[in-house]
A and B are shown apart, each in its own frame.
Chain A
Amino acid sequence: MLKKRVIFTLLYDNGSFMLSRNFRLQKVGDLQWLKKNYNFSKLSFSIDELVILDVTRTERDRKKFLNHVRALSEECFIPIAAGGGVRDVEFAHSLVNNGADKIVINSLVGQSIETIRNIVAELGSQCVVASIDAKKVKNEYMVYTENGTLQQSFSLQEWLDKLTEIPVGEVYLNSIDRDGTGQGYQKELIEFIPVDFQLPIILSGGAGKYQHFIEGLESKKVDAVATAHLFNFIGNSLEDSRIALLKEGYNLAKWDVNNFESIKDIFSPAEKSSK
């Protein structure tokens, strides 16, 4: 049976990892800090997938971001989706060549469907995740692009229709109102997703503790739950969350973490001959 997924999202801004609250960014630490404080390779065993988004507000240094994607993908054997500033097929290829399994697009949906079609033609639709930043305006959800700064003239429904038509592989649906608040996912946003929507949905925005994951996992419309909350899930919190969710019978994948150490360098001649 297909499992649901718990996804961790790293927000990157010019060499630093960030905490976001309603799209306002706060610097938390760099790659060294992340590796040292998080033991990133160990942390990755508590999640099903990693998303890395370049949300740099000033001019993006693409090469630097690619280096970070590549460094994070070492000793982290889960799917990685990376994006932020994807505007052409070439950069999509660069992401894939630097450790990303999927690329994340956002503003491009408002700019050039044709470019997205070209990316899909090159890499396959399963390789393209469309991220949507949605905000409730009056009684409707509207789509925002450019790091949440530009309101599009399309409703969320119209946006979802566009994506289904291309089609992209998955939709990463983020609530701007709940972003980084730790108050839980926006239930109304889940209700808004059409029952028969054709693409897998990754729900984001608001998770602050593992019980919030349940709000998403319990919905038939939601295929994966994501959090970008670095502080709330620091230390053993992600690991504890996964253990608790599995214990409560939620449909998540299982693997034996103990094999990680025992299998390391199993073919290395140096290791073997020293015995």
Chain B
Amino acid sequence: MGASIHYKVMRAPKVTLIDYGIGNLWSVVSAIKYLGAQVDLISDPEKISRASILLLPGLGSFRKGMEALKDTGIDKAILRAVNDNDARILGICMGMQLMGSYGSEDGGAMGLGLIPNRVERFTKEELKGNKIPHVGFNTVNFSDRKGLFKDFPKSSDFYFTHSYRMLLEKRNGIHATCVYGEEFLAAFEVGNICGTQFHPEKSQTNGLLLLRNFLQG
């Protein structure tokens, strides 16, 4: 093994960006390309199920997001890729929320269930006078400084914009939290399943570094 490393050329990771008609995909594409990786926008469930690196973006309401995934059959394709083929996946913002078990937004809906956590709106009591949506850069505290959070200091600033948050009921794997009135789940890496409530593609070099870590994992 050791002798061959010298000749080993790092291949550009090929990222499948899941296109289900929701979200600002362009920014994610720009960020991945900036890192020198390849990225394809894919809406065909068959192709998604065979991908090895998936990115799930998202925008709007949880219920509408899940409906869009179900109507296109992308929900099952994601589960097949992640559970059966060990594809690595990163959910961003609403994309991360959709990976949870349940979201109460807009009448409520079951999520993909890749992680058990639920998604609920910030409550007035917990916000302690803070405004909704939670928008802007906020400090993210890492549980570990490896994997998704490699090469970061103990905490780092990322850009958020959301009114619902993932509850901290289960803390498996490597994770990160953020405080906005109360503490909520800001990011996680559980095996091949990763998510960020913040937007790495909108968080200057901090976000680019995190995306690099995801692609290296």
Q: Distance (Å) between the CB of B159 and the closest chain A CB?
A: 6
Cα A97 to Cα B26 with chains together (Å): 7
**Could you tell me if A79 and B206 are in contact, using CB atoms closer than 8 angstroms?**
no
A2-B180 contact given A200-B131, A259-B209, A269-B12, CB 8 Å threshold? yes
Please tell me if B192 contacts chain A, counting CB pairs below 8 Å: no
Q: Which of B94, B139, B205 contacts A256 (CB 8 A)?
A: B205
| From B24, B134, B156, residue with most partner A Cβ within 10 Å | B24
| From B35, B60, B156, B199, residue with most partner A Cβ within 10 Å | B60
Please tell me if B27 contacts chain A, counting CB pairs below 8 Å: yes
**Could you tell me if A124 and B11 are in contact, using CB atoms closer than 8 angstroms?**
no
Q: Using an 8 Å CB-CB cutoff, how does the interface string of B174-217 with A read, 1 for contact, 0 for none?
A: 00000110000000000000000001011111111100100100
- Which residues between 117 and 155 of chain A lie within 8 Å of chain B, taking CB atoms? 121-127
Chain B: number of interface residues, binned into ranges: 35 or more
**Could you tell me if B9 and A267 are in contact, using CB atoms closer than 8 angstroms?**
no
A93 to chain B: closest residue by CB: B21
Classify the secondary structure of B's interface with A.
mixed
Q: Which of B60, B180, B209 contacts A263 (CB 8 A)?
A: B209
A123-B137 contact given A70-B26, A269-B10, CB 8 Å threshold? no
Contacts of A4 in B (CB 8 A): 136
Please tell me if A192 contacts chain B, counting CB pairs below 8 Å: no
Cα A131 to Cα B100 with chains together (Å): 34
**Could you tell me if B136 and A254 are in contact, using CB atoms closer than 8 angstroms?**
no
Contacts of A126 in B (CB 8 A): 133, 135, 161-163
**Could you tell me if A48 and B137 are in contact, using CB atoms closer than 8 angstroms?**
yes
Please tell me if A224 contacts chain B, counting CB pairs below 8 Å: yes
B202 to chain A: closest residue by CB: A79
**Could you tell me if B202 and A272 are in contact, using CB atoms closer than 8 angstroms?**
no
A75-B180 contact given A198-B132, A223-B131, A265-B35, CB 8 Å threshold? no
Chain A: interface residue total (CB-CB under 8 A): 56
B151 to chain A: closest residue by CB: A259
Q: Distance (Å) between the CB of B39 and the closest chain A CB?
A: 11
**Could you tell me if B131 and A123 are in contact, using CB atoms closer than 8 angstroms?**
no
- Which residues between 223 and 275 of chain A lie within 8 Å of chain B, taking CB atoms? 223-224, 252-260, 263-269, 271-273
Cα A75 to Cα B80 with chains together (Å): 33
Contacts of A25 in B (CB 8 A): none
**Could you tell me if B157 and A266 are in contact, using CB atoms closer than 8 angstroms?**
no
Q: Distance (Å) between the CB of A32 and the closest chain B CB?
A: 19
**Could you tell me if A75 and B138 are in contact, using CB atoms closer than 8 angstroms?**
no
A4 to chain B: closest residue by CB: B136
Contacts of B36 in A (CB 8 A): 264-268, 271
Contacts of B156 in A (CB 8 A): 255
Cα A189 to Cα B70 with chains together (Å): 48
Cα A163 to Cα B215 with chains together (Å): 41
A261 to chain B: closest residue by CB: B205
**Could you tell me if B11 and A269 are in contact, using CB atoms closer than 8 angstroms?**
yes
**Could you tell me if B159 and A263 are in contact, using CB atoms closer than 8 angstroms?**
no
A positions within 8 Å CB-CB of B: 1-5, 44-45, 48, 70, 73-75, 77-80, 96-102, 121-127, 169-170, 198-200, 223-224, 252-260, 263-269, 271-273
B positions within 8 Å CB-CB of A: 9-13, 23-27, 30-31, 34-37, 59-61, 94, 130-139, 156-157, 159, 161-163, 179-180, 199, 201-209, 212, 215
The 19 listed contacts between A and B (C-beta, < 8 Å) are A2-B134, A3-B138, A45-B204, A77-B31, A79-B159, A79-B202, A96-B24, A97-B26, A123-B59, A124-B61, A169-B135, A200-B131, A254-B157, A255-B156, A263-B205, A264-B35, A265-B34, A267-B35, A268-B12
CB-CB nearest 8 A-B residue pairs? A268-B36, A253-B137, A265-B36, A253-B157, A259-B205, A126-B133, A267-B36, A255-B204
Please name 10 further chain A to chain B contacts, defined as beta carbons within 8 Å, in addition to the given A70-B26, A100-B24, sorted by A numbering.
Answer: A1-B138, A45-B205, A48-B137, A48-B159, A101-B27, A122-B60, A126-B161, A255-B206, A258-B205, A265-B35
